[in-house]
Structures are given as C-alpha cells and as structure tokens.
Amino acid sequence: MKPIKVGLLGMGTVGSGTFNVLKRNQEEIQRRAGRGIEITMVADLDVARAQALVGEGVQVVGDARAVIANPEIDIVIELIGGYGIAKALVMEAIAAGKHVVTANKALLAVHGTEIFAAAQAKGVMVAFEAAVAGGIPIIKALREGLTANSIQWVAGIINGTTNFILSEMRDKGLDFGVVLKEAQRLGYAEADPTFDIEGVDAAHKVTLMSAIAFGIPVQFDKAYVEGITKLGAADIKYAEQLGYRIKLLGITKRTAQGIELRVHPSLVPTQRLIANVEGAMNAVMVQGDAVGTTLYYGKGAGSEPTASAVIADLVDITRLHTADPLNRVPHLAFQPGAMSNLAVLPMAEVVTSYYLRLRVADQAGVLAKLTGLLADAGISIDAVLQREADQVSQAGENQTDVIILTHDTREGTLNEVLAQMQALPTVMAPIVRIRKEELN
Ligand SMILES: NC(=O)C1=CN([C@@H]2O[C@H](COP(=O)(O)OP(=O)(O)OC[C@H]3O[C@@H](n4cnc5c(N)ncnc54)[C@H](O)[C@@H]3O)[C@@H](O)[C@H]2O)C=CC1
Ligand SMILES: N[C@@H](CC=O)C(=O)O
Ligand code: NA
C-alpha cells in the first residue's frame, strides 16, 4: 500500500522535531501503523530555512494554503500556533476533507467547539495529543485507558516553562527573568511567554482535559487563571520550611455543584511524587472512581518529546482510516505481518551494574584480592565500602563486610568472577549480589 501523505504547516521547534523523528523511526512506525507515513509537503514563512531542514526531496512552500489545496495530502499537521492564521488553516483543511493533527492548545481551548463540530460534520479527525503535556500520552489515557471510570479530578503540572522557573529559582536562587530566557532558548516557552507565566497555557491544557474527563464542551472562558508572576522567592522558601513545594497546578474536579476548572500556584506536600517533578518535566494525576489515583510523568515540552505525540496521532489516524479493521489496534502494537525476530537475550548477556556484599575475614590483603579479580575480568569499580569498626563485632570478631558497587558489565563475566571470589578461603558466606539500575 502506498504511504499516507502528510502536509506539515510550521517548521519550527515542534515541526522540525516531527520531521526528524518520523524520518529516523520511519521503518518501525510503518510496522506499527500498517502503512508508511510520509511528510511530502511543508509550509513555512521562512522557506529557505525549512528547505534546509527537510532536504531537497520534500516540497517546501511559503503559502500554507498550497498544502491544503494539494489533493494528494490526506493529513495536515498544524504547528504554527496561535488563534489567527492557524484557525483559518485548520478550518480550511477540515473543509477540504483532511484529517488534522495539531499541538495548538490555545486554538482548541478557545475555538474547539467550532473546530470539532466542523470535523464531525465532515467526517475527519482532529487529533491533539501534543497539545496537553507534550509527549505524555494523557489524552489517550483519559479518552481510552480510563474509559471505565467516573473521573473525579485531574490535577497536573502542565506547563514546563513555569515548573522550570520555579525549580531553578528554588534550587539555584536564580532570577525569574534569567530562567525565563533560558526556557525560551530551550524551546519550551510559547511565542508569547506571558501565556506561560500567567497560567494561560496551563489553563488551555486543563480546559481540554476537563472536556475529555467530564464530557463537557471546551470552556476556556470559564477557567480561573492565576500565574506565577506574583509569587515571591520568600514564599517558595517559607513553603519549603513548612514541608511544601509550590507548583503551578491545573486542576479540574467534579463536585455535586458542578465542575471546578482552575490554574494557580499551589502548596503541595513535599513527600508527594508530584511535588518532586522538577525542571521542564510535566506530571498529571487522574483520580477515577474505579482505578483510584494514577500518575503520568514525562516531558511536556521541547522539540522531539512533543513530536512524539504528534506522530502518535498520525499513526492513530493512519490505522483507523487505512488498516484492515482487524488490525486497527494490533494485539501487540505492531501489525501481525510486521513482527520482528529480535532475540531475547540470555541473562548471561545482559549488561548492568551490581551491588555486591561479601562477608570476609578481617585480614590485610583481602580487599586487594577481591578488587584484583574484578580488574582482571575488566570490571571497573564504582565504589567500595567497608563496615565501620563498631559494626564488626556484630559480624564476628574476625569478619567484616565489604560492599562493592561495579560499573556496567556482562552478567556472564560477573558470574565467573563471583565464582572465583566465593571459592576464596577469606570469603566466609554466600556473596549477596543485587543488580543496580540507574533508570535515567
Ligand atoms: N515548543 C513546545 O515545546 C511545544 C509547542 N506546542 C505548540 O506547538 C505549536 C508550535 O510551537 P513551536 O514549534 O514551539 O513554535 P515555533 O515558533 O518554533 O514554530 C512555528 C513555525 O511556524 C512558522 N509559521 C508562522 N506563521 C506561518 C504561516 N502563516 N505559514 C506557515 N508557517 C508559519 C514559523 O516560521 C515557525 O517556523 C504551538 O501551537 C505551540 O503552542 C505544544 C507543545 C509543546
Ligand atoms: N510553553 C509550553 C510548551 C508546551 O506545551 C510549556 O512550557 O509547557
Ligand atoms: Na500529550
């Protein structure tokens, strides 16, 4: 089957990430989608810059309407932003019968009712996973994964720029303005950063989540919005002393009287997971009556994290509209005919690092012997710890514990060294080995 053809409007931070990730992972994405997905036409005001980014094989134009007018294009990705030209282009793409993927939360939070109605009438999809919490699949979780639940509330850190500012101010004592400039440099901030710092961007996102969680129309105009600009450094410090962190939260909650929809700085107990979400990271908590509380964490902004969500929407649309109905949601995510025969490794081939605890005779030269065996096998040591003198008597007058952290090595190699260590007369008990995962 021929690839599905996609037109991309706006080759900026997210547009270039989308192009690059789709190109880099095209083979794997095709095996999931059941059909190739190709960006064949791009529009940007800066044609030369966009052409340099996509290379010669892709047509680049300055007029986005030329993309919409191209009958070969099935899906239009809108990554220009704002309510102006972006709204006109999205409405025109829908009118032309194209599916639309957008990261534009401002547009959907304010004009969503009109846009979704037009798409419904035309029988096309408007997909917007990237619009809320960037790369975190929160729209899919709310819309599909949690579909059995009566959702009670959703609360999240959904603006990377402000979370970055609050973290840097607290940890490094940096000035608000300096950190904001850095967030802009890193591509997190909106074209108009007042949207970030005044809570408007978070309100756009929580408005969309509220609609999906409670089945209500998008109603940005009803949201209470308070940003972080009036927050003093002293409040961040005092909150910390009282056991709280200040986070800009977007909250929407079902109550007997109606729906709460609000964005404001909030004190959150420091021991909560969400209080420890730092930098530009996002996290969304969802409370459902059946599932209880769930938490979704990840990068809410930036070029490729946001692209990840844009492409997930492209795959959804491709599957729904072109795949064999049986394989729209392939059982194992990849189309049945596109499974890989990658081998699952035997444990001996796994590479990881280790914590070792050895009960040894408390004699000179024992430690050197142990570290020598590791060195001979090419296993480097990250840290060594010997029990304190006052702990020795508990282990026995002539014995002590040695703890060794290794760097990464093959499990098979370590097993050979462990066997040699265990055979030493100075090793007095079975060696304890715990694998170590940095998970970063
Ligand atoms: N940057 C981020 O981390 C995230 C951004 N978003 C959203 O994604 C959208 C795009 O954001 P960014 O990529 O950061 O913006 P950007 O400012 O980096 O890119 C926008 C691009 O659109 C082009 N453009 C402007 N007017 C145009 C027109 N009339 N026709 C064709 N091209 C035009 C610009 O030249 C620019 O290259 C926005 O809606 C934003 O809110 C969503 C999640 C994260
Ligand atoms: N400006 C936004 C970008 C993503 O939506 C943010 O800082 O989170
Ligand atoms: Na998302």
* β-pair type (75-78, 292-299): unpaired
User: Strand ranges (DSSP E) for 199-242?
Assistant: 224-225
Say yes or no: CB of residue 104 within 6 Å of ligand 2.
Answer: no
* Distance between Cα 299 and ligand 3 center (Å): 9
Q: Domain ranges in the chain?
A: 4-137+303-337, 140-298, 348-436
What is the predicted pLDDT for the residue at 320? 86
At 255 the pLDDT is 98
| CATH code of the domain made up of 140-298 | 3.30.360.10
Cβ-count burial of 258 within 10 angstroms (0-12 exposed, 13-18 middle, 19+ buried)? exposed
Question: Which residue's CA is minimally distant from atom 1 of ligand 2?
Answer: 189
Domain 4-137+303-337 adopts which CATH fold?
A: Rossmann fold (3.40.50)
Question: How many angstroms is it from 310 CA to the middle of ligand 2?
Answer: 14
pLDDT of residue 326: 77
Q: Is the CB of 187 under 6 A from ligand 1?
A: yes
**CA dihedral for 103, 106, 107, 109, sign (positive or negative):** positive
Active site residue 122: no
For residue 402, how far is its CA from the centre of ligand 3 (angstroms)? 47
Pick the CATH number of 348-436 from 3.40.640.10, 3.40.50.800, 3.90.1150.10, 3.30.70.260: 3.30.70.260
Q: Mean pLDDT of residues grouped by 10 in the chain (440 residues)?
A: 95 98 98 96 98 97 98 98 97 98 98 98 98 98 98 98 93 87 91 95 98 98 96 89 97 98 97 96 98 97 96 95 78 93 97 97 95 98 80 66 98 98 97 96
Interface predicted TM-score (ipTM) of this complex, two decimals? 0.99
Q: Is 324 in the pocket of ligand 1 (CB under 6 A)?
A: no
pLDDT at 5: 97
Q: Which of 304, 188, 307, 300 shows the shortest CA–CA distance to 250?
A: 300
Distance CA 356, CA 142 (A): 43
- What pLDDT sits at residue 345? 97
Ligand closest to CA 16 = 1
Task: Please give the single-letter amino acid code of residue 350.
Answer: V
